[in-house]
């Protein structure tokens, strides 16, 4: 087995080539030192939970001494003065931090386009990885690291995980500390893990919470007899044929595994309007947060970001109350439609990756907004797709606090699982 130091050098070499524009900044010296310390601990049998695992960190999460710009040109000169809580927990578990990954500007978007240009898909140069945690997803899918941290407000972990064929988790709100994370809207923001292996999501979540890694409950280890919700009416969201086909195959696997399926009509919820409500409130919050900085340095924000912040600044109190009510109405409808279900299984996004040269899809977060507005945990795991096809992600949603269930079902449903 290669030493941590050898794997770290190889990872840094791949990251420094950065042909994907996945990396914002690398800490080669710090990573190699941490790797050598991990090798020493492993040699004396003192390895910890994540000993020697190589991590990429999204650029809106504070790491002491590293740039802390959150993808904003206006913050390019700023450095973090201390670690975010989740970074301290990774260090305590033995993780080796490689550097910061690129992200959509201010985390307000899902195009996979950073202020340094587009983040390229590892399978198709010039195609989108989604966002806003696109750099973390690209670095993982390309094999530059073992795991990554992202943030998810309306789908920013789950969308790039889906488009890149990896796994990611948006935890239950409040479960993982946001201290040291640049906010988009703290009511909707989450920090979560990303991995190529869906089985890693649960232990990573335990570490991010500062808890010992425990086994998943035995009850969560099978699909037989589970009462699960599945969607009908997805044509209303303009799902692509590739997404519909992959989702249909997943439903067939569920049925063959003995799950009890209950259909839910997605048209009940008018998800595009729910997504627009959450996004508008985020634009409002970010406009207020950056009002002073924008006045002092308007060139520190791209024209696209300026437009979104201008819109947020124009929203009235009545507008915001109307959006809040729309979210509350959705949550009531969601709770009623899913009562008695252990989990719901949906696609992550109506679309797969698209060329950066194409107009970005406006519906990309129409399904991920469910977990945001409903306040529940959600995982993205890869679906089975035809050889050579672009990845498609499957979303597992469960009631608040049932993160173990989401992770376990994700393991069972991920493409290639022998236990599904």
Give per-residue pLDDT as tens, 59-96. Answer: 999 999 999 999 999 999 999 999 999 999 999 999 99
Residue 220 has what pLDDT?
53
pLDDT of 419 higher than 70: no
Among residues 413, 386, 391, 410, the alpha carbon closest in space to that of 256 is found at: 413
Q: Is the dihedral of CA 337, 383, 173, 362 positive or negative?
A: negative
Burial class (CB in 10 A: 0-12, 13-18, 19+), 15: buried
The per-residue pLDDT for range 363-413, each reduced to its tens digit, is 999 999 999 999 999 999 999 998 889 999 999 999 999 999 999 999 999
pLDDT band, very low/low/confident/very high, at 416 (cuts 50, 70, 90)? low
pLDDT band at 418 (very low <50, low <70, confident <90, very high): very low
Q: Using one digit for the tens of pLDDT, what is the confidence trace for 152-182?
A: 999 999 999 999 999 999 999 999 999 999 9
DSSP string, 154-169: SSTTHHHHHHHT-EEE
pLDDT category of residue 420 using cuts at 50, 70 and 90: very low
> Edge-to-edge strand order for the sheet containing 343-347?
23-26, 96-101, 54-58, 147-152, 190-195, 167-170, 378-382, 393-397, 343-347, 227-232, 260-265
156 is an active site residue: yes
Sequence-distant (≥ 6) Cβ neighbours of residue 165 within 8 angstroms: 123, 141, 382, 391, 393
For 260-310, what is each residue's pLDDT tens digit?
Answer: 999 999 999 999 999 999 999 999 999 999 999 999 999 999 999 999 999
The least confident of 35-49, 128-142, 210-224 is: 210-224
pLDDT score, position 268 = 96
pLDDT above 70 covers a percentage of the chain that reads 97
Note if 3 is an active site residue.
no
Model pLDDT, residue 129: 98
Residues 364, 380: Cα–Cα separation, whole Å: 14
Active-site option among 5, 38, 128, 132 = 132
Please give the pLDDT value at position 1.
65
d(C-alpha 155, C-alpha 112), whole Å: 12
The rounded distance, in Å, linking the Cα atoms of 13 and 143 is: 12
Alpha carbon separation from 344 to 131, 217, 229, 255 (Å, rounded): 23, 19, 4, 14
Span 3-47, pLDDT tens digits: 999 999 999 999 999 899 999 999 999 999 999 999 999 999 999
The catalytic position among 5, 114, 136, 156 is 156
CA–CA separation, 185 and 201 (whole Å)? 24
Helix (H, G, I), strand (E, B) or coil at 83: coil
Among the listed residues 378, 385, 374, the one whose alpha carbon sits nearest the alpha carbon of residue 410: 378
User: What percentage of residues in the chain have a pLDDT greater than 90?
Assistant: 94
Tokens at residue 127, please? 């195609």
Residue 186's Cβ-side half-sphere holds a number of Cα atoms within 13 Å equal to 8
Return the ∠ at Cα 365 (arms to 73 and 113), rounded to 5°: 30
Over the chain, what is the mean pLDDT? 96
Contacts of 177 (CB under 8 A, 6+ apart): 84, 85, 86, 191
- Residue 263 and residue 247: Cα distance in Å, rounded? 13
The verdict on whether 132 is a catalytic residue reads yes
Residue 218 pLDDT > 90 = no
* CA 225 to centroid of chain Cα atoms: 29
pLDDT tens readout for residues 340-364: 999 999 999 999 999 999 999 999 9
Query: Catalytic one among 5, 58, 114, 133?
Result: 58
- Under the banding of pLDDT at 50, 70 and 90, the label for residue 417 is low
């Amino acid at each position: 087995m290669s030493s941590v130091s050898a794997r770290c050098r190889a990872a840094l070499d791949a990251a420094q080539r950065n042909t994907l524009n996945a990396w914002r900044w690398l800490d080669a010296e710090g990573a190699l030192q941490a790797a050598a310390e991990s090798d020493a601990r492993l040699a004396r049998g003192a390895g910890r939970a994540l000993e020697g695992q190589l991590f990429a960190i999204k650029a809106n999460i504070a790491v002491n001494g590293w740039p802390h710009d959150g993808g904003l040109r206006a913050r390019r000169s700023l450095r973090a003065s201390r670690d975010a809580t989740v970074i301290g927990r990774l260090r305590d578990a033995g993780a080796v931090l490689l550097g910061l990954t690129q992200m959509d500007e201010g985390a307000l978007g899902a195009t996979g386009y950073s202020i340094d240009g587009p983040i390229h898909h590892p399978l198709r140069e010039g195609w989108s990885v989604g966002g806003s945690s696109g750099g973390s997803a690209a670095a993982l899918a390309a094999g530059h690291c073992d795991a990554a941290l992202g943030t998810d407000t309306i789908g920013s972990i789950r969308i790039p995980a889906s488009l890149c064929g990896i796994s990611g988790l948006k935890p239950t709100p409040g479960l993982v500390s946001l201290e040291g994370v640049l906010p988009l809207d703290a009511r909707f923001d989450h920090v979560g893990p990303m991995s190529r292996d869906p089985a890693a999501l649960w232990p990573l979540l335990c570490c991010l919470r500062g808890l010992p890694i425990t086994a998943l409950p035995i009850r969560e280890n099978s699909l037989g007899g589970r009462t699960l919700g599945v969607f009908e009416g997805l044509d209303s969201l303009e799902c692509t044929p590739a997404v519909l086909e992959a989702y249909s195959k997943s439903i067939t696997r569920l049925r063959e595994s003995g799950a009890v399926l209950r259909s839910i009509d997605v048209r009940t919820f008018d998800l595009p309007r729910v997504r627009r409500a959450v996004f508008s409130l985020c634009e409002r919050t970010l406009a207020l947060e950056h009002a002073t900085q924008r006045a002092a340095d308007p060139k520190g924000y791209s024209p696209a970001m300026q437009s979104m912040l201008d819109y947020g600044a124009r929203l009235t109190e009545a507008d915001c109350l109307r959006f809040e009510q729309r979210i509350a109405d959705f949550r009531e409808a969601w709770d009623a439609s899913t009562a008695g279900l252990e989990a719901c299984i949906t696609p992550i996004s109506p679309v797969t990756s698209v060329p950066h040269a194409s107009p970005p899809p406006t519906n990309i977060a129409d399904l991920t907004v469910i977990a945001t507005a409903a306040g529940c945990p959600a995982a993205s795991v890869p679906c089975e797709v035809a050889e050579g096809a672009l990845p498609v992600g499957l979303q597992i949603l469960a009631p608040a606090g049932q993160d173990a269930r989401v992770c376990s079902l994700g393991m069972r449903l991920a493409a290639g699982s022998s236990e599904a």
